[in-house]
Amino acid sequence: MLVLEWLKDNGVSEESLTFSQSRDWISVSLPISNVENLLSTEYHVFQDGDSTVVRASEWSLPEHLFDHIDCIQPTNSFFGVSNLAQTRNRQSPLLEDVFDDRDGPSLPDNRPRQTRSLDVQRVCNASGITPLCLRALYGFEDYQVQGSEKNSMALTNYLGQFNNRSDISLFLTEYRPDIPIDGWNFTDVSVAGGINQQTPANAYQLKHGKGKEGNLDAQVMLGLAYPTPLTIYSTLGTPPPFNPTSFAPNNTNEPYLVWLQYMLSLPDSELPKVISTSYGDIEHTLPPAYARRVCDTFAQLGARGVSLIFGSGDSGVGRDGMCHSNHNDGKPERPEFLTSFPDCCPYVTSVGATMGISPEEVAIHDAKKFVSGGGFSHYFERPKWQNGPVQKYLDSLGDEHKGMYNRGGAAYPDVSAQGYQYAVIWNGTRLLIDGTSASAPTFASIIALINDALTTEGKPVLGFLNPWIWEAGKTGRGFTDVTIGNIKGCNSTGFPAMPGWDPASGWGTPVSFTATVTQSGADKDYIVVPGTERVGIGSTFSSSQSLVYRLVASETYHSKRGLSVCLICSISPDTQTIIPSFH
């Protein structure tokens, strides 16, 4: 109300405002002079090459609004508006080799087989990870999608990335010849002017590898989860406010909030059940208020039944010589492990990378300066479902790396999947690509297949995953523990893998697909109260308790009927009514 009154007092009527679905984000078009009056500033035109932007060097708000407004855009963020094809200085660079049949062993035969159980060692080898290898390794090579009309999956493009249909067709012909050549497709959705380019890449795009990331994501998801419908969201929009550092001097952070506002405006029927994102920022390059707003908005999507999957980063705990961070607290930069956002947000599922087959171990490729990422947040407190396992790890670690990370912060990754030497086709050429950019769509595809199995049996999709993942991990179900390797960086050994959860590999990699479906589909009529075990629907609660996880409830949030998802709620012990409390 205070914000609306402030706008009204300055001549901005409520009728001219556009609200997000949850009414926590306001958009309005105003003359520059009006905005200058509102923010006590002056805007100027800035030019960089052929690009121009209108920005202010500084701005201010009335003091009584400080606690009510998280961010205002555009103000003093500088970035290339028309040229998002610039090199991205992020934690997850694409790391590739050109694959040549004349150099080294050929890729394994990828033709479908009638054999019930494939020999993993026979279909997976060092020359490249293929869909057949992943399907055999994670136990779903014989699974047939049964209810694609009830299911959906998606991926996101930022920074001018695209998914070339010609390359995808070549990939599927090579590695999934059982898929009809004209039997696959994906749906393009443009957000804030984003374009999924299908014309041949120009010289600049080829030089800067545009389309590699997009091709990797789409080829993995179609190669593993076909014929589950795939939607691709290409977002342009305005990058967030930015705090440069030596590791990230340029603003190439993604406009997550732009995409999130679009997604929240969709009806539940149009929301994909699982979404993979292979992009990440460095936590301290974002203002805390903005990061928290984005994280809370991810929670809203999770509350509506969407599983959000992110790659945990490809620089271990930080590139050697670049491990200095500034937490926007007025203090100078100091040596510290770097944290990836939004992986450190408790409401997304972060996926690390593994390599090797028997056993799998933490992925690292020194020649490409690739190390799977992990660590602890400085902006987000550790969620209660992480407490026991993370504290056990920290106790085992002792004082090693003391002062280089936040022991009380939210921990990531949650899980891992293969992320080493993936076979990909880009610009008609076969490449081998490393990175959690491969791990994220792999894990998302497995979730899509589990959702298919669940909905076919009339059960709900998984939705927000993390409490279930951590419960399954604590009981030793659902994941194969990865105990070999470490995520080095910052001129240190970084965090080692250990039995149980660790920041090098999370809880490990998915076990057999059948076992995962059995565990994920079991007993949904409960919630998890932080600090306790399962709590049944019929139990009596204190109204002060917070409930985290899935709850059987109707649209009116009555606990005895229908289906819904509640991330953070309170409950009335008298009426057993669930009261959502999203902020």
Active site residues: 213, 217, 437
Q: What is the DSSP string of 407-462?
A: TTEEEE-SEEEE-SSEEEEETTEEEEEESHHHHHHHHHHHHHHHHHHHHHTTPPP-
Distance of CA 260 to the CA centre of its chain: 12
Q: How far is 21 from 557, CA to CA, in rounded Å? A: 18
Contact 174, 425 (CB under 8 A): yes
Rg of the chain over all Cα atoms, to the nearest angstrom: 23
Distance, in Å, from the CA atom of 59 to the CA atom of 53, rounded to the nearest integer, reads 16
How far is C-alpha 431 from the chain's CA centre?
A: 24
Among 279, 275, 295, which Cα is nearest to 567's? 295
Give the list of residues 6+ apart from residue 190 with CB closer than 8 angstroms, or none: 196, 234
Residue 208 tokens, joined: 């800067």
Record the tokens describing residue 570, joined without a space. Answer: 């309170």
Cα angle: 504, vertex 254, 39; to 5 degrees: 130
Structural contact between residues 374 and 317, judged by C-beta atoms closer than 8 angstroms:
yes
Query: In degrees rounded to 5, what are phi and psi of residue 189?
Result: -130, 125
Q: Which two tokens stand for residue 248?
A: 């990230």
Q: Return the structure tokens found at 83.
A: 């040229």
DSSP designation for 513? H
CA quadruple 248, 254, 258, 264: dihedral positive or negative?
Answer: negative
Q: Give the DSSP H or E segment for 395.
A: helix 387-397
* Count of all residues that appear for the chain in the document: 583
| DSSP H helices in 85-211 | 120-123, 131-137, 165-175, 203-207
Q: Which residues of 427-461 are buried (b: 16+ CB within 10 A; e: fewer)?
A: beebbbbbbbbbbbbbbbbbbbbbbbbbbeeebbb
CB 80 within 8 A of CB 48: yes
Side-chain-facing half-sphere of 204: CA atoms under 13 Å: 7
Which residue, chain included where needed, has tokens 């306001």?
26
Q: Tell me, letter by letter, the H, E, C secondary structure of 270-305.
A: HCCCEEEECCCEEHHHCCHHHHHHHHHHHHHHHHCC
Residue 234 near residue 191, CB atoms below 8 Å: yes
Could you give the 3-state DSSP secondary structure of residue 551?
strand
Distance CA 465, CA 567 (A): 11
Q: Distance of alpha carbon 512 from its chain centroid, rounded? A: 23
